[in-house]
Amino acid sequence: MTATAGRLAAEYFPTDLASILDRVERIDPVRYAQSRNFIDGAVTRLSPYISRGVISTKYVLARTLERGYEPRRIEKFIQELAWREYYQRTWQVKGDEIDRDLRFRQQGVENNAVPRAITEAATGIDAVDTAISELYATGYMHNHARMYTAAIACNFGRSHWREPARWMFYHLLDGDWASNAISWQWVAGAASSKKYYANQENINRYCHTRQSGTFLDVNYDEFEEMPVPEVLRPTSLTELETKLPEPTELTLAADRPTLIYNSYNLDPAWKSGMEVNRVLLLEPSHFRRYPVSPKVIEFILALAGNIPDIQVFVGEFDELAAKLSGPIIYKEHPLNRHYRGTAEDRDWMFSVAGYFPSFFGFWKKCERELAGAQLSLGF
């Protein structure tokens, strides 16, 4: 990562706990609902901290309600938090099935690679190319820009969703494979009954551009029959590799339990004050399957710095377990089903679990819980 990219990432996403918690306190959920679809809208920029388990959706909601916002007034904000739980609950049930077309076979696929115009930020759609360049520099892309990028790759470039999704995941500080994979499938029509399209007029509106004459500057009814634009025809398989830190020796207290942290559980409040060994486990096998950029690894290690006395172990779970004599404790996650020990639940905002083909079936049950919470809070 270049010095400039590192500085921009730090400006967008500080890693010290005080700054992260302050960001939670500064959420404006009303403005968020009104403007979140615009590229300069009042988004929270909390997704990297939620995805990495530094804070939870439950914590964010609780702090927002404690600031005096009534649930019914900020329902859109709560609903967007619930999307994260929906993706994770789907992953719990479906497991590796989310790596394949989940509900429908993606139609019109012509390649299993990534358009080079996407990876080179040279699609000719100014707002999208800017967003991709910012992704490389900061590790972040606005949600609407992610949808535009996915639509260009899958629905105009005719790429199967998985390789472009892996490319984007590699660069995202907030990389959550369930959210990423299922969102790409939703755009490509593999997790929803229709594909997502956006034309140049839509992009101009939400990204404040005035571009015209592009391959997207057409009416929506023309999209299905469009040939692949020439700029999207060259494709390639991106080489994605994770560079992990060099292994170091651990200093472990034999008579203490060991808490296992990982790249999706970096909660500094977890069993705070308890006398335990705290180990951040970075498994090479995990990162071979879900590779991430050097910027993401730096971000993970910096966030881990908020956890007192944490040590980093680069190796597989079985290698670590062989070094431990006391109890092993970890948080449940679809990616650590091979761990052995005591699995604790994550902090869920809602108790609704299981698989729902659509988010809104899931949300209806969440709404009932939310209504009960409103009654108990006196709203």
Give the mean pLDDT per block of 10 residues along the chain (379 residues): 53 93 96 95 96 97 94 93 97 97 96 98 98 97 97 98 98 97 98 95 97 96 93 96 95 94 98 96 98 98 98 98 95 97 97 95 94 55
Rg (CA), the chain: 21
| AA letter at 170 | Y
Contact between residue 231 and residue 123 where contact means Cβ atoms under 8 Å apart: yes
| Model confidence, pTM | 0.94
CA 7-289-251 angle, 5° bins: 70
Which pLDDT value is given to residue 374? 56
Calpha distance 199→291 (Å, rounded): 32
Which pLDDT value is given to residue 25? 97
Of residues 45, 35, 216, the one with CA closest to residue 141: 45
Calpha distance 356→370 (Å, rounded): 18
**Runs of H (alpha helix) within 13-74:** 17-25, 29-35, 47-51, 57-66
| Contacts with 260 (C-beta within 8 Å, 6 or more apart), sequence order | 279, 281, 317, 320, 328, 329, 330, 336, 339, 341
Calpha distance 76→359 (Å, rounded): 14
